[in-house]
Amino acid sequence: MLTASAILTDGLVYAAYLFIVAIGLTLIFGVMKILNVTHGSFYAFGAYGAATAVGIYTNADWPAAAGFLFMILMGLAVGLVLGIILERGILRLVYGKDEVIIVLVTYATFLILEDVIVLIWGPQSYAAYQPMVSAGNIEIGDLVLSNYDIVLVAIAALLAGLAYWALKFTRYGRLLTTVIFDRETAAAFGVNVTLVYTVTFIIGAMLGALGGAVMAPKIAVTLGIGVEVIVLAFAVVAIGGMGSIEGALVGALIVGICRAAAVHLVPQIELFVIYGVMALVLVVRPYGLFVRAQPRKI
Amino acid sequence: MNGNMSTSNGAILAVRDLEKTFGSLVAARDITVSVPAEQTVGVIGANGAGKTTFINMITGHLTPTKGSIWFEDKEITGKPSREITRLGISRSFQVAQIFPSLTVFENMCIAAAIARRSGSVWGNIATPVHSPDAITEAQATIELFRIDQYSDTPANALPQGVRKLLDIGMAVVGWPRLLLLDEPTSGISIEEKFDLMNVVMSALKTRKITVLFVEHDMEIVARFADRVLAFYDGTVIADGTPTETLDNPKVQELISGVRLKTAAGSAGHA
Amino acid sequence: MFLFAAAAAPLLPDWVVSLVTIAFANALVVLGLVVLWRAGLVSFGQALYYCIGAYAVALTARWTGFTDAFALVVIGGVAAGLVAVLIGFLLARYREIFFAMLSLALSMILYGVLVKTESLGSTDGFSVATPTFLGYAPHAQALGLSLYWLTLGVDAIGAVLIGVYFRSVAGALAAPIRDNEIRVEFLGVSVTSIIHTKVVIAGILGGLGGALAALAIGHVDPNMSYWTTSGGFVFVTILAGAGSVAAAFVGSLVFEAVRSFAFDVMAQLWQMTLGSVLLLTILFLPDGLGSLVARLRRRGEAKAP
């Protein structure tokens, strides 16, 4: 009984982490049809930015809540700046090229940014655990949960809700949906697709950075954290379907629970459970769980 | 046209009681037709009348729910399309399906090489593309369709009429005995339609190929077909010489009649 | 080119011999990627076969004590090839991004398995026994040269065979499949079968490359199956372009040279260097170095009387 609830809570927390990290990626792919490897860089920059923020507010002795907010804002700001620079500077040059070429461009950019991190923050690790520690723990029955983890789940739920509301009820959200569905038709109806692209990429960047910022207190902020996140985010997005936010949510939940189950029951398969699930899903539904194939017109 | 189907009575293509349903939707029913070798058959009818379903069943892309199809005295009902291609039935497309990044010659050569190889995995690897045979066939077919001046032009730079000729040529380079043409003049300007069809039909006659062509332009049908099949609501409502069929009051009412409402001489869809 | 490289070897310093050996081992993997790239397919998981080839060699030497280099390389290629045959049935049904992602997932599965397997050294991997050559057991410089010549030999054979393949129907169908797969089917060809063949060829080449690399490096570890390793191979494929067989080898050499140079001159920023090179290549030389060579050659021919 303890194991079951442990799996559930661990799974939920891990799912929250995956969702926050994957939502930006699936958004960018859905709208722009770009598989953005630089997403890992957004995450890393967000984490480093957050670490810096934590350093600042800890030294200045702010209250925990304010510090947390500051950390979040720093993450978003980093994402905003990075997103603008990349979109206007590099991405703009390769719109319209083959999908795979664009992926390689984002891969090249990722490599470059990995070393930019070293240039800015140096090769050492950073610790940003203060928010997590100050949040404390809570005991439910036999389980000890970190309050920070609960906040994480809350943030993920909030993001999901926000995304749902924004897509269905705001003007921009509905524009986005039309472009995701059929870019050509949207353009024919006068939608400024270029502007939609730019804004989407920046939002995606901010979400990626937010993921890093929010995770910074839980991990060691060091070189290479972007690398693993990329494949994880890809797996979640592939499972759920590229461009589908519900898909990312469901994908994150499936992977989260499966991984938690593996960790508690069969630790040997923990690392590749996510890729196994991804391979399995792709075999049955090559476009992911929530996306239909588009038939080719002759 | 009915009667004993154990032999085809000299018919190269024979279908009997052909039917195709998709769930509750009946796309084609009660089709019985016998086509003698080297005949040119025009197939007319509104979109959705069953023409494409008919064609797709012959080429093997759809399996009939009832009935049988015979080609050269062999039953081919339900056979996979790759096998049917190998048996000698070929088709061309309403929108020319070619390889844009290759030249006309390369397009034709690939088609020729494919037609000449055995279908196995090893056959694919062991057969060189630019074998003397393939090259000869490709060149011969290019000349047959009068597009030699475009031989070294990349296919994505061709005028529309030449694209169509290339598309049909690729279907013919392997010497099929039956060719199904899907709207050969669609997308071609009125001035060029007759020239195009002249080239195509004389090429096909030279190779003694039996032809079924789907067309919406009644003048083209009248001019080039030996025989016309009229489709309506999934079945054949008329079958005879062009004059007979096009003068048939039912055909005029259901198919070609609509054409009278549009400007005379235009290639409107029925 | 191969004969020249082979002859030049004894004159070159050890580090050059070593660099070229690794580069040419990797070139085989890249050649496999070129085969797929010509049909419009990119595999982001080619490291799977590279790793299988490497571990096959390492494990065979470890478990059976067999160290003959020729046999080991063949075993590496065969092992990877068998896996490719199996996986090919699945993979051949996908295209574009989905092909890339599925191949990525499969390579990461192997990575996960290897990392968690204590008996295989987990993340540290383990070392590969010193190879022998039909009974001959060289050391130091002679060993380096032997491996060098072996690699060149395998590469030469591979280059010739793949050249023949490119001129065959299956090879020449790469561009048509990329352009208009449906028409290829209508001409009577099973596209799935052709792609399956390409996956297997690429798998065998990847395995051979991995086997040679394992012998040359003397060590195997799970990182050989990590996505960044696959990324490196794709990188070189772009750098080289898909124009010719030679491109794969030239591209690999250039890549290894640039990587070594970047490591030596600016160790902290080698990723940035690589990334910039890739970016510049994509932006200004989209058909890779191979196209540059072709362009120069054409200009040379035009100038000739």
Of residues C116 and B193, more confidence is placed in: B193
- Residue B263 pLDDT exceeds 50: no
Q: Is residue B8 part of a domain?
A: no
Mean pLDDT of chain A: 84
- Give which of B161, B154, B164, B40 is closest to B102, Cα–Cα: B154
Size of interface A-B (CB pairs under 8 A): 4
CB contact under 8 A, C113 and A276: no
Q: Name the percent of chain C lying above pLDDT 90.
A: 24
Residue A259 domain boundaries: 2-284
From the list A262, A286, A111, the residue with the least C-alpha distance to C103 is: A286
Is pLDDT at A52 greater than 70 in this prediction? Answer: yes
pLDDT surpassing 80 at residue C229: yes
In a domain, B186, yes or no: no
pLDDT-derived band at A122 (thresholds 50, 70, 90) equals confident
Confidence of residue B266 (pLDDT cuts 50, 70, 90): very low
Closest partner CB to B129 (pick from C172, C180, C187)? C172
Q: What is the mean pLDDT of residues A107-129?
A: 88
Name the residue with higher pLDDT: C13 or B36. Answer: B36
Q: Is residue B199 part of a domain?
A: no
B115 touching chain C per CB within 8 A = yes
Nearest to B106 by CA among B170, B49, B55, B164: B170
Question: Considering chain B, what percentage of its residues have pLDDT values greater than 90?
Answer: 47
Domain count across chain A: 1
For residue B170, pLDDT over 90 is answered with yes
Contacts of C among chains (3+ CB pairs under 8 A): A, B
The alpha-carbon gap from A188 to the nearest alpha carbon of chain B, in Å, equals 23
The pLDDT value given to residue B269:
41
Residue C198 has pLDDT above 90, yes or no: yes
Domain assignment present for residue B152? The answer is: yes
Distance (Å) of CA B105 to CA B85, B101, B138: 22, 12, 7
pLDDT of residue C143: 82
Q: Which residue of A has its CA nearest to C269?
A: A115
A286 Cβ under 8 Å from any chain C Cβ: yes
A91-100, B71-80, C176-185, C243-252: least confidently modelled range? A91-100
Q: What is the mean pLDDT of residues A14-39?
A: 88
| B 79-108 → A contacts, CB under 8 A | 93-95, 97
Task: Show Cβ contacts of residue B88 under 8 Å, excluding neighbours closer than 6 positions.
Answer: B71, B72, B175, B176, B177, B178
Number of neighbouring beta carbons within 10 Å of residue C178: 17
Q: Which of A284-293, B76-85, B217-226 has the lowest mean pLDDT?
A: A284-293
Residue with tokens 């240039």: A119
Q: Between chains, do B102 and C178 touch, taking CB under 8 Å as contact?
A: no
Please check whether residue B158 lies inside any domain of the structure: yes
Establish if A102 belongs to a structural domain. yes
Give the B:C interface size as CB pairs under 8 Å.
82
Average pLDDT in the C74-84 region? 94
Contacts for A237 with CB less than 8 Å, ≥ 6 apart = A22, A25, A26, A29, A247, A248, A251, A288
Residue B115 belongs to domain with CATH number: 3.40.50.300
How many domains does chain B divide into?
1
Q: Quick one: pLDDT band at residue C284, thresholds 50, 70, 90?
A: confident
Question: In which band, very low, low, confident or very high, does the pLDDT at A173 lie, cut at 50, 70 and 90?
Answer: confident
> Which position has the higher pLDDT, C40 or A175?
C40
Q: What is the pLDDT of residue C3?
A: 65
Measuring CA to CA, which residue among B184, B190, B149 is closest to residue B40? B184
Asked whether residue A289 is assigned to any structural domain, the reply reads: no
Q: For residue range C146-196, list pLDDT tens digits in order.
A: 888 888 889 889 988 998 898 888 888 898 998 888 888 888 888 899 999
Edge-to-edge strand ranges of the sheet holding B11-22: B25-36, B11-22, B66-71, B74-75
Q: CB distance C272–A114 less than 8 Å?
A: yes
Would you call C113 and A272 a contact, using CB atoms and an 8 Å cutoff? yes
User: Would you state the pLDDT for residue B171?
Assistant: 93
B-chain residue closest to A297, CA distance = B95
pLDDT one-digit tens code per residue, A76-87:
999 999 999 998
The length of chain C in residues reads 305
Residue B146, in any domain of the structure: yes
Q: Does C89 touch chain B (CB under 8 A)?
A: no
CB A118 within 8 A of CB A223: yes
Measured CB to CB, residues of chain A less than 8 Å from chain B are 298
Would you call C172 and B110 a contact, using CB atoms and an 8 Å cutoff?
yes
Tell me, what's the pLDDT at C25?
93
**What pLDDT score does C77 carry?**
93
pLDDT at residue B3 in the model: 42
Min Cα–Cα distance to chain B from C172, Å: 7
Average pLDDT across chain C, whole number: 85
Asked if residues C69 and C132 have their Cβ atoms less than 8 Å apart, the reply is yes
* Residue C297: per-residue pLDDT: 67
Confidence grade of residue A294 (pLDDT, cut at 50, 70, 90): low
Q: Are the CB atoms for C245 and C289 separated by under 8 Å?
A: no
CB nearest to B91's CB, from C172, C179, C186: C186
Q: Which of A282, A283, A292 to mutate to test the interface with C (most CBs of C within 10 A)?
A: A282
pLDDT score recorded for residue A201? 92
Q: In this structure, what CATH number is given to the domain that contains residue A16?
A: 1.10.3470
Identify all chain C residues contacting B117, using CB atoms and an 8 Å cutoff: 169
- Put simply, the answer to whether C278 touches A111 (Cβ < 8 Å) is yes
Residue A297: inside a domain? no
Which residue range forms the structural domain that includes residue B128?
94-175
Residue-wise pLDDT for C92-125, tens only, equals 888 877 888 889 888 988 988 888 887 777 888 8
Of C98, C112, C274, the CB nearest to A111: C274
Instruction: Kindly report the nearest CA distance between residue A184 and chain B, in angstroms.
Output: 20
Is the pLDDT higher at A206 or at A136?
Answer: A206
Q: How far apart, in whole angstroms, are the C-alpha atoms of residue C69 and residue C82?
A: 20
A182 in a structural domain: yes
CA–CA distance, A50 with C258 (Å, rounded to integer):
34
**Contact yes or no for C220/C58 (Cβ under 8 A):** yes
Is A292 a member of any domain? no
Contacting chains of A (3 CB pairs or more, <8 Å) are: B, C
Segment B201-210 shows an average pLDDT of 93
- pLDDT, residue A177, reads 78
Q: What is the DSSP letter of B254?
A: I
Question: Nearest Cβ partner of B97 from C165, C173, C183?
Answer: C183
C71 pLDDT more than 80:
yes
pLDDT of residue C302: 59
Determine the pLDDT at residue A298.
42
Name, in order, each residue with C-beta under 8 angstroms of A96's C-beta and a sequence gap of 6 or more: none
For residue A30, the chain C residues in CB contact (below 8 A) are none
Per-residue model confidence (pLDDT) at position A293? 65
* Statement: residue C87 has pLDDT above 70: yes
Chain B residue nearest residue A298, CA to CA: B95
Chain C nearest C-alpha distance from B49 (Å) = 24
Taking the CA of residue C10 and the nearest CA in chain A, the distance in Å comes to: 36
Query: Does residue A177 form part of some domain?
Result: yes
For residue C112, the model assigns a pLDDT of 85
Q: For residue range A234-253, list pLDDT tens digits in order.
A: 888 888 887 788 888 998 99
Average pLDDT rounded to a whole number, residues A60-71:
80
pLDDT in tens, C239-251: 888 777 888 888 8
Q: Within chain A, where are the H helices?
A: 2-32, 39-60, 64-89, 99-121, 130-135, 147-169, 171-181, 183-188, 193-215, 225-240, 245-265, 270-284
pLDDT > 80? residue C300: no
| For residues B3-14, average pLDDT | 62
Whether the predicted pLDDT of A97 surpasses 80: no
Distance CA B169, CA B108 (A): 7
Query: For the segment B119-166, what is each residue's pLDDT rounded down to a tens digit?
Result: 677 777 778 888 898 999 999 999 999 999 999 999 999 999 999 999
Residue A295 lies in a domain: no
Residue B135 within any structural domain of the chain: yes
pLDDT grade, residue C260 (50/70/90)?
confident
Residues 6+ apart with CB under 8 A from A184: none
Between positions 149 and 188 of C, the ones with CB within 8 A of B are: 165, 167-173, 175-176, 178-180, 182-183, 185-188
